[in-house]
Amino acid sequence: MSATVSPLAPKSYPDMPAVRGVSMSTASAGIKYKNRTDVLMMVFDRPASVAGVFTKSKCPSAPVDFCRANLPHGVARGVVVNSGNANAFTGKKGRESTALTAKSAAQALGCGENEIYLASTGVIGEPLDATKFSGVLADMANSATGDFWLEAAKAIMTTDTYPKVATRSAEIGGVKVTINGIAKGAGMIAPDMATMLSFVVTDADIAPAALQALLSGSVEATFNSITVDSDTSTSDTLMLFATGAASADGQSRIETADDAALASFRVALADLLKDLALQVVRDGEGARKMLEITVTGAESDAAAKRIGLSIANSPLVKTAVAGEDANWGRVVMAVGKSGEMADRDRLAIWFGDVRVAVDGERDPDYSEAAATAVMKQEDIPLKVEIGLGNGKATVWTCDLTKEYVAINGDYRS
């Protein structure tokens, strides 16, 4: 955790209510960081429905492989997360580490190893000594408590400068349900089916297949629409658990994702995931500004998103934003290199409400002063109209500062 909290950090944290059916505890195992918690355990009172989306990296971590193997089983009794070591590119030792952790957690909770889910975050390529924390899992299980969300978020941070939490409520068939979530992430962020680490729990009673469809359907416009540095992590894990505790209030179990009773829940889940995703961008390593890029008029929504990410991932665009320079020529460059259809003479570009380019050239009413005023803001909206179709998408990123280089130049030391 950085000594300096991001200037884009939330000014306050939401009051995180306890979610019935889940409790948490944290511990300090000294995996990489001194004098802070670095292990999180989540315990479910009874088997919870589980859904997950993971990195598309072809070099995934051992915990990602482990979770993927368990997911078809559909239920979870416990989650163990460590920070400071990603347990990625660790070969046979990595698999042995996940096996030991899962065995210890299963023994502590009296459940099967296929009901345990694991995640690790931190340095890639360093063997993870799971004996540092496997022995304390029984104690952690016994001391777990329900109102521990902010502490849970703190335990999974790496270069994050603040813990990321969010909560929403919804109704299913007239019964109120709660959704809480935590996330970590600040660098190596260009998610592909998930991002870094994020764990979301609801007390709703929803079957695993329906829960998976809900999660997969909400990822594209939230976690898969953010980027800090164009790099997809080996460890990206986003998991959603439903404890079913709301059944005690009369909530009928949801079996399919197209159930009309899910309307309120679907909106609340998407809103919570977007909240967490944007907190990750706002904590981008060295970030001083947040950029919301909206692309309209592309050939398709998918084309609009690819153009948006081409702009968002451009080091030249991001450094211009860092320097408060309304350099729309770099936006034109990024549109042109995206590989998607574009017509130079139909392009229009806005920084905030200031149109800087139209019909393929500088706006005749262009004002450098007005554009510069927009660039001085912490939150900068950038809009690009392609002029070819109805495709649209929004993506989010941050600026690229000297601090990003400094953080990543000595990350392992």
Q: How does pLDDT run across 306-345, given as a tens digit for each residue?
A: 999 999 999 999 999 999 999 999 999 999 999 999 999 9
pLDDT of residue 152: 96
CA atoms within 13 A on the CB side of 134: 16
Query: Which one of the listed residues 37, 101, 159, 195 is annotated catalytic?
Result: 195
Q: How far apart are CA 166 and CA 94, in angstroms?
A: 32
Is the separation of the CB atoms in 78 and 118 below 8 Å?
no
In this prediction, residue 99 carries a pLDDT of 96
Q: What average pLDDT does the segment 143-154 reach?
A: 94
- Please state the pTM of the whole predicted model: 0.94
> Which helix (H) or strand (E) is 237 found in, with range?
strand 237-242
Quick one: average pLDDT of 125-140? 92
pLDDT in tens, 77-114: 999 999 989 899 899 999 999 999 999 999 999 999 99
Contacts of 12 (CB under 8 A, 6+ apart): none
pLDDT on residue 193: 56
- Percent of the chain exceeding pLDDT 90 equals 83
CA-to-CA distance for 83 and 133, rounded, in angstroms? 12
The answer to whether residue 191 scores a pLDDT higher than 80 is no
Rounded to whole angstroms, how far apart are CA atoms 238 and 301? 24
The residue-averaged pLDDT of 149-175 equals 95
Residue 99, SS3?
Answer: helix
Q: What is the pLDDT of residue 406?
A: 87
For residue range 342-386, what is the model confidence (pLDDT) as tens digits?
A: 999 999 999 999 999 999 899 999 999 999 999 999 999 999 999
Rounded CA gap, 293 and 311, in Å?
Answer: 8
The radius of gyration computed from the CA coordinates of the chain, to the nearest angstrom, equals: 22
Q: What confidence tier does 57 reach under pLDDT thresholds 50, 70, 90?
A: confident
Query: For position 84, what pLDDT does the model report?
Result: 87
Mean pLDDT of 387-403: 95
Active site residue 372: no
Average confidence score pLDDT of the chain: 93
Does the pLDDT of residue 56 top 50, yes or no? yes
- pLDDT range class, residue 120, cuts 50, 70, 90: very high
Percent of the chain with pLDDT over 70: 97
- What is the structure's pLDDT at 52? 96
Is the pLDDT score of 194 beyond 70? no
Task: Tell me what pLDDT residue 1 has.
Answer: 46
Is residue 175 within 8 Å of residue 250, measured between CB atoms? yes
pLDDT of residue 234: 83
pLDDT tens readout for residues 199-252? 999 999 999 999 999 999 999 999 999 988 878 788 889 999 999 999 999 999
Residue 411: the pLDDT is 64
* Alpha helix positions (H), 124-207: 131-134, 137-143, 149-155
